[in-house]
């Protein structure tokens, strides 16, 4: 088992996490039972009066993946990486909009437009962005039930040493201070994924490069800047990019496309970080905020790997870290399915109809089950997500493939569907 095991007493009071070996001994001796598989939690058969040591919950919000870590003192006892489904929500809304627009054009083509009578409340966020906040807040509340969390740390802003040195800095002084250009470099590192634009090499010093050379009329606009390693920068010199990459048309096409690509991930983080902080304050726990520069400094000082959950552990004030959790729990948001009763093809015509009944023989599609088949052609033990049918003949998706035609009589539920998939 990768993380430490979360522990509850018989009154559902969170206790200190224990090591996997201790949890196995308690389960084998009958002193505890499995309370939940993901995150793995056991419940003792007796009440415990001891006060557990406080645990700090640390978050490193990201556009696609959010790092989560639980720290007890300077020990990282549990870690996870939560993958969001913002792009999936955006694609589903665009598909729904296209279908509705086509239906309106067919059925109500002469209706007067009513787009001017719709208003949005203050603080409104797009559903794909609001999903990130709701998902993180769901896991914060879930972990509070299983661990004695007494505080929350969140990475909120990028570092800004100019404002630290002079809180009154403003206008042109702010734009042309001693660190003029640092924000541009951070933006370019995020946009070009910390790679050389021309050879895609990583983990080497990168220089800011003008795509259209200044000697030939190029400007300092952000759309004319990229990152390049020193050999590529020297080799390119004052050549136009079309001349420099004339023998590499694929690289030229990729670089020109990358230049026009907006930094969507950075915009998503900027839009949600303060809304998430406001939401976390509703927990009435002490909230500690940190900057991205501070997180990077802590990680580099402690010589730790660059992963989401390690970044979360480095958020805020950190002196030393002892990582007891060797591997994070990988959580992927999958949703609870769709409410659409009539499936359509790409042209909007109906192709299938979904049944209103979702629970069959006590199981629901998406549950994690264990099937012990004792007879027939498919003898064996199968663990995975189940696809239910009203006939009672289920399919089980395991890590080795999909097993069809398993009777519900051989199945028992391991983990109920909750809108997430899990892995290590």
Instruction: List the CATH number of the domain containing 230.
Output: 1.10.30
369 within a domain of the structure (yes/no): yes
77 within a domain of the structure (yes/no): no
pLDDT at residue 160 in the model = 47
pLDDT at residue 84 in the model = 95
pLDDT at residue 164 in the model = 44
Pick from 423, 418, 421, 389: nearest CA to 406: 389
Return the SS3 of 54: coil
Ranges of the chain with pLDDT below 50 = 1, 159-165, 174, 178-180
CATH code where residue 372 lies: 2.30.30
Residue ending a domain, among 209, 243, 264, is 264
229 within a domain of the structure (yes/no): yes
Each residue of 278-317: b (16+ CB within 10 Å) or e? eebeebebeeebbbbbbbeebbeeeebeebbbbbbbbbbe
Count of domains for the chain: 3
pLDDT at residue 285 in the model = 95
Residue ending a domain, among 264, 286, 320, is 264
338 within a domain of the structure (yes/no): no
226 within a domain of the structure (yes/no): yes
221 within a domain of the structure (yes/no): yes
pLDDT in tens, 192-244: 888 899 998 988 889 988 988 888 888 888 778 899 999 999 999 889 888 89
Q: How many CA atoms lie within 13 A of 162 on its CB side?
A: 17
Residue ending a domain, among 229, 248, 264, is 264
User: What range does the domain containing 383 cover?
Assistant: 353-418
Q: Rounded to 5 degrees, what are φ and ψ at 197?
A: -65, -25
pLDDT at residue 99 in the model = 82
Instruction: Please give the full DSSP string across 236-272, using - where no structure is assigned.
Output: HTT--HHHHTTT-HHHHHHHHHHHH---HHHHHHHHH
Contact yes or no for 65/84 (Cβ under 8 A): yes
Helices and strands, counts by H and E, the chain: 12, 22
235 within a domain of the structure (yes/no): yes
Q: Rounded to 5 degrees, what are φ and ψ at 171?
A: 55, -130
pLDDT at residue 158 in the model = 57
412 within a domain of the structure (yes/no): yes
């Amino acid at each position: 088992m990768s993380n430490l095991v979360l522990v509850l007493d018989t009154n559902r009071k969170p206790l200190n996490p224990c090591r996997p070996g201790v949890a196995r001994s308690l389960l084998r001796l009958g002193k505890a039972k499995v309370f939940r598989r993901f995150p793995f939690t056991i419940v003792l058969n007796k009440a415990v009066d001891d006060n557990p040591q406080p645990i700090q919950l640390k978050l490193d919000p990201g556009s696609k993946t959010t790092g989560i870590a639980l720290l007890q003192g300077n020990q990282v006892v549990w870690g996870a990486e939560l993958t969001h489904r913002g792009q999936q929500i955006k694609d589903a809304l665009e598909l729904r909009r296209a279908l509705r627009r086509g239906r309106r054009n067919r059925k109500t083509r002469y209706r007067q437009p009513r787009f001017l009578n719709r208003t949005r409340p203050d603080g409104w966020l797009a559903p794909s962005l609001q999903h990130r906040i709701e998902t993180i807040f769901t896991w914060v509340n879930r972990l509070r039930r299983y661990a004695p969390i007494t505080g929350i740390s969140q990475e909120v802003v990028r570092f800004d040493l100019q404002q630290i040195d002079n809180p009154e800095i403003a206008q042109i002084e702010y734009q042309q201070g001693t660190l003029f250009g640092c924000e541009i470099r951070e933006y370019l590192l995020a946009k070009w994924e910390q790679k050389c634009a021309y050879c895609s090499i990583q983990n080497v010093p990168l220089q800011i490069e003008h795509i259209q050379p200044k000697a030939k009329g190029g400007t300092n606009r952000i759309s004319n800047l990229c990152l390049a390693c020193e050999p590529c920068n020297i080799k390119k010199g004052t050549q136009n990019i079309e001349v420099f990459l004339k023998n590499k048309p694929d690289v030229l096409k990729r670089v020109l496309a990358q230049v026009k690509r907006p930094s969507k991930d950075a915009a998503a983080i900027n839009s949600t970080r303060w809304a998430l902080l406001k939401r976390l304050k509703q927990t009435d726990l002490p909230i500690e905020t940190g900057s991205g520069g501070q997180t990077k400094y802590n990680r580099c000082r402690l010589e730790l790997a660059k992963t989401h959950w390690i970044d979360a552990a480095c958020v805020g004030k950190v002196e030393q870290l002892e990582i007891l959790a060797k591997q994070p729990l990988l959580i992927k948001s999958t949703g609870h399915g769709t409410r659409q009763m009539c499936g359509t093809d790409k042209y909007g015509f109906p192709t299938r109809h979904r049944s209103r009944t979702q629970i069959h023989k006590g199981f629901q599609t998406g549950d994690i089950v264990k099937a012990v088949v004792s007879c027939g052609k498919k003898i064996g033990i199968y663990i995975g997500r189940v696809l239910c049918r009203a006939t009672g003949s289920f399919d089980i998706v395991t890590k080795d493939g999909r097993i069809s035609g398993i009777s519900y009589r051989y199945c028992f539920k391991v983990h109920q569907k909750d809108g997430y998939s899990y892995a290590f």
